[in-house]
Chains A and B, each alone.
Chain A
Amino acid sequence: MKFLLALFLALASLPASAATIVLASTTSVDNAGLLSRILPGFTAKTGIEVRVLAQGTGQALATAARGDADLVLVHDPEAEAEFIAAGHGARRVEIAWNDFVIVGPAADPAHIAGTKDVTAAFRAIAASATPFVSRGDKSGTDALEKRIWRETTIQPAGQPWYREIGGGMGAALNMAAATDAVTLTDRGTWLAFGNRRSLVELLRGDPRLINRYRVIELNPARHKSAKLAEAHILAEWLASPEGQAAIAAVTIAGETLFNPGVREIH
């Protein structure tokens, strides 16, 4: 029993480490391996350990709004604006970008391969009733997909070919691979995904598919218990020449996962 008590106390003492922050991040930057490859350099330099919570953008913002994270890294402009309007966020800086792509079976039943207009492609998917896997989880990817459907004025919800899974990007890709369906994915998760089967990239290059990642520092008036000073150091480092170089250096099979690019959003 003494041993178990000691074990329990050892577990209890773990959270006490001082320079540790919680980064609520969208799954794509974590699943693609970006954070695990750049953060060790940051920790070595500053001594600040970063615990990454990989959640969809909606959940990451909700976690931070409850005070359970010190910094967020997300990619949904509308949800971010709401978060800041609600008084949770202070400074917002874009630190990287890549793009979304439509992936689907190589047989391409909707005939969208090589096209560049995402709304036309969505219309073709609906018209041909090609199975489409939707995240349905209020992530940044899900929000973009819903915006594109709104532009087409098609109501996909309830259609037999439209499958809303309420899961992460990886789960959506697994289902698309298993059922020869089409889905919208961020490039990072797609490049790192290991179970493609017959899935190939079908559409890329529409300017509406640019995918911008931003860090949001929390509002000190609302989040007094958050470790804002350490979070600020991380936000600054991500936007610094050193952090940007680290982001640009991460590749999978020769392809750059995330392009550097710093822009402060007001």
Chain B
Amino acid sequence: MESFLPIVGLSLGVSLASSALAAALGIPLAALLALTRFPGRGVLVVLVNALLGLPPVVVGLVLYLTLSRAGPLGSLGWLFTPLAMVLAQAILATPIIAALAHRALEACWRDYGRTMQAAGASRLRALPHLLRMARRPIATALLAGFGRTVSEVGAVLVVGGNIAGFTRTMTTAIALETSKGNLELAVALGIVLVGISVMISATVLVLTGARR
């Protein structure tokens, strides 16, 4: 087994980048769904919630076919690179962040929206205040998105290829070591992965003051 730190580093890098990408897409989408009314909004809400259960291996397969040389985006050369893994995980995490943040913002808007509007704030101006008020449930939404990405194995295996030193993450390394019968090593890697996940969750919760 090759050195351990690059695997941890790649896992964290890919998960953080994909969570950030998912947040950049999911939170604006959540705000749009919570604060505005437009035709097709109801359908979009149902769709976002339905995609919570998006099977990673299906996302991996569809992205694989898209990024493959024989596929529409093949010329980019992204297949079997960390970038493909970031895209796959962002697709998986975006509905989670959007759906949970939508509920949080919707509740805040219902409770304080009229007051804010009466005070002369537009929806756009009210948004930063709402985000601050809803920071704890939104932190939970981001952690749920991060949790999905850091623990995921099906999609990153298909689009990343589990290449040693390049696209091997904690989860694909655990799967590989299990398949080689190195169960002790697989369990050790699993403990490290859980430890990292707990540390990140704790940090975010402390920062947002949501310890209770």
Contact = CB atoms under 8 A, between A and B. Distances in A.
B13 interface: yes
Contacts of A36: 2, 164
Contacts of A194: 180-183
Contact of B181 (A4, A8, A67, A173): A173
A15 B81 contact: yes
22 contacts: A4-B16, A7-B13, A7-B16, A8-B21, A11-B17, A11-B82, A11-B86, A14-B166, A31-B180, A36-B2, A51-B163, A66-B69, A66-B70, A66-B71, A67-B70, A68-B69, A167-B179, A170-B178, A193-B180, A194-B183, A196-B181, A225-B75
Given A11-B83, A51-B166, 12 more contacts: A1-B20, A4-B24, A7-B20, A14-B81, A53-B80, A66-B69, A68-B68, A169-B179, A171-B179, A193-B181, A194-B183, A195-B182
Interface in B82-123: 82-83, 86
B77 interface: yes
Interface residues of A, number: 32
A124 interface: no
A12 interface: yes
A190 to B, nearest CB: 10
B162 interface: yes
Size bracket, chain B contacts: 20 to 34
For the complex of A and B, list the 10 residue pairs with the smallest distance between their C-beta atoms, beginning with the closest: A67-B69, A170-B179, A195-B181, A194-B181, A4-B20, A15-B81, A66-B70, A193-B181, A51-B163, A53-B161
A135 to B, nearest CB: 12
A168 interface: yes
B14 interface: yes
B79 interface: yes
B21 to A, nearest CB: 7
Given A15-B78, A54-B162, A68-B79, A174 B178 contact: yes
Contacts of A31: 176, 179-180
A169 B182 CA distance: 14
